[in-house]
Amino acid sequence: MHIAYATHPKGCILVTDAIAAMGLSPGFHHLGKVAVHLDEHHRCTVKDTDTLAGSAAPMDACVRRFQKIAGVCGALDAATIRPAQALGISHRKGSLAVGCDADLVLLTNELDVRAT
């Protein structure tokens, strides 16, 4: 991530491909017929194996992690305006401007979600 951001910061986009375990507490769970273990780092593996079942990281966790590389503004851009630009919808998403949708997330100083 360091090299990607250093060489092309405007090309960095944060996404989460979180599986159904997102929002669950760490421990053992069933996703459909598959028993999985979710750890405290949002990593989900098939129970009693190291086989990755997926990630359960929410977007705010991605932003907190990426801000260590890109700074707060770079991380927030990678979660907001950059994806909107890539999708061709920056005329209505990804920024606070007249005519844009009012999609707001209130974050704490630690980048935890306070309200949506």
Q: Which residues are catalytic?
A: 17
Picking from 90, 41, 31, the residue whose alpha carbon sits closest to that of residue 62 is: 41
Where does residue 58 rank: exposed (0-12), middle (13-18), buried (19+ CB within 10 A)? middle
Nearest Cα neighbor of 94 from 107, 72, 78 is 78
Contacts of 93 (CB under 8 A, 6+ apart): 84, 87, 100, 101, 103
**Percent composition of the chain: helix, strand, coil (DSSP 3-state, to 5):** 30, 20, 50
